[in-house]
Amino acid sequence: MPVAEHVLTHAAEQPSRLAVRGPGGELTYARLADRIEAAARHLAGNGVGPGVTAAIGLADPVDLLVAVLAADLAGATPLVGEHTWDHTRWTTVTVPLPTVPITTPLPTSPIGTALPASPVIAPVPTVPIDAPSPATGPIDAPLTTTTAPRAAPPPDPAGPPARRRARPDDLAWACFSSGSTGRPRAIVRTRASWTGSYHHLNALTGIGPDDVVLVPGPLVSSLYAFAALHTLATGATALLPGRWPGRDLADHLAEASVVHLVPHRLPDVLERPGSLRVAVVGGAALAPGTRQAAERAGVRVVAYYGATELSFVAADTDGGGLRPFPEVEIEVRGEGPLGEVWVRSPWLAEGYLGAAAGPLRRDEDGWVSVGDVAEPYRAGGVLRVRGRGDGAIQTGGATVVPEDVEEVLRKVPGVEDVVVVGSPHPSLGAVVTAVIETPFSEPLPRALLEETARGGLDWAQRPRRWYAVPELPRTPTGKPARALVAARLASGDPAIRRLT
């Protein structure tokens, strides 16, 4: 069932329940349902439905969510991007697609109020996931036409909602992923590959209709988009600041019972947990001592491992380690101390829109990998992920996984976060290089870092070059942008200070 249909059901059963609160105000389920239906009729009246990709770039997270759910209800494929992207940026990150750009809030007049007439958009064939297609028009304009406008009456505002019979295998969601390396890619998935996992997540976390769920990040991130849609499908209340709330965090936590976030934000939450009972954490490994801090704060942590292409792979609900998410099969292939993670499950994405290259690979038996590496694994046991294989550093014949080094260095007092990359070397191929996030006002002695490295890392893993920055660049999900750090190092960025 489309998430939009869930919202309509909740609106019928409990119309006055608060559905969303954003920077511009709040909506009950009844009012949210009205806005979605009106916006869906507007889209349908403009030819937006099955086979059309709705490229959505809106600053307000509630406006964005309404547009996403309206596209869902109309049968189109919503694709969420940054509201600051212009046409050039969209084409850079996607390969040109036959899309309908939505860069202004959709008309959401109450039922019974006439909607403004709009030009009709000719239906566009579904985008092949492995071939590029021409774009329909500028992405920074309101609804535009693929052909000359043709005379047609606007949709009847008093008529039935614009919706079609949904199927689980509809290509119903598309989102961007860059991970910590590479440029963003648009990944498309079926409806069931997201919504089918909702009840499993509820069982693991205890999330239900009475919860207030804080989603403290941009919905262009698949992690936060999933969290917002899951909240509404469950019938709970979504708090959508649209970004990390900073000084307003405590106010949000005073109301929230659940938060979805990335690991480096969890310590901030645990300092003033408010009414929080569960933190759902994805994106990277937890820092040492985090679970103990959560226990002291009275917050249960449910951590998970996955990827935008794979969705959920494994979850750790009690600190005992990552175990397969329900209905997921895992293999670690290869000999030696590390192998490549392969997954088979109902939650896998279909592939990349257009001709975008990416790490997703499939075998003939339906197993998929994005190149992550892990220790040898026994079915049903604990999965020990060691990072993305394409980020491994080859130095003097040894293979170093950056995440292993970062885990040790994060224990050093004064290290807020760290990124480890390989710097070119004429004879070794590369040398391990650490870029530490630490306030420049509190100089971090290199000797302390090296002492920690000697005590916790093998010889080949120890960084040979050390740098510091006051703040690491990050991806939309909050993970350090490893490729950007490496590029800034290579360009000699003066903001990156060498530790001597």
pLDDT tens for 133-172 read 333 333 233 333 232 222 333 444 445 555 567 777 888 8
Q: Considering only residues 122 and 167, tell me which one the structure prediction assigns the higher pLDDT.
A: 167
The answer to whether 252 touches 23, Cβ cutoff 8 Å, is: no
189-199 pLDDT, tens digit each: 999 999 999 99
Q: What gap in Å lies between CA 164 and CA 161, rounded to an integer?
A: 9
Q: What gap in Å lies between CA 128 and CA 96, rounded to an integer?
A: 12
Per-residue pLDDT band at 463 (split at 50, 70, 90): very high
Q: What gap in Å lies between CA 272 and CA 261, rounded to an integer?
A: 15
- pTM for the full model? 0.77
Q: H or E element: which one contains 171?
A: strand 171-177
Q: Considering only residues 11 and 454, tell me which one the structure prediction assigns the higher pLDDT.
A: 11
What does DSSP assign to residue 403? H
Ordered structural domains, the chain, with CATH: 3-166 (3.40.50), 198-389 (3.40.50.12780), 392-498 (3.30.300.30)
> In the chain, what percentage of residues exceed pLDDT 90?
52
Q: What region does 45 belong to: left with phi over 0, alpha with psi -120 to 50, or beta? A: alpha
CA 473 to chain centre: 16
State residue 93's pLDDT score. Answer: 61
State residue 173's pLDDT score. Answer: 87
The stretch 203-226 carries a mean pLDDT of: 94
339-393 pLDDT, tens digit each: 899 999 999 999 988 767 778 899 999 999 988 888 999 998 999 988 766 677 8
Q: Helix and strand tally (H, E) in the chain?
A: 13, 27
- What is the number of other CB atoms lying within 10 angstroms of the CB of residue 364? 5
CA angle, 159 then 163 then 165, to 5°: 130
- Mention every residue, 6+ apart, whose C-beta is less than 8 A from residue 117: 153, 154
State residue 390's pLDDT score. Answer: 64
- What is the number of other CB atoms lying within 10 angstroms of the CB of residue 213? 23
State residue 277's pLDDT score. Answer: 97
- Mention every residue, 6+ apart, whose C-beta is less than 8 A from residue 491: none
- What is the number of other CB atoms lying within 10 angstroms of the CB of residue 382? 14
Q: What gap in Å lies between CA 140 and CA 392, rounded to an integer?
A: 38
Residue type, 95: V
Q: Considering only residues 119 and 202, tell me which one the structure prediction assigns the higher pLDDT.
A: 202
408-450 pLDDT, tens digit each: 999 898 898 999 998 888 767 789 999 999 887 777 889 999 9
The answer to whether 132 touches 95, Cβ cutoff 8 Å, is: yes
Q: What gap in Å lies between CA 324 and CA 125, rounded to an integer?
A: 37
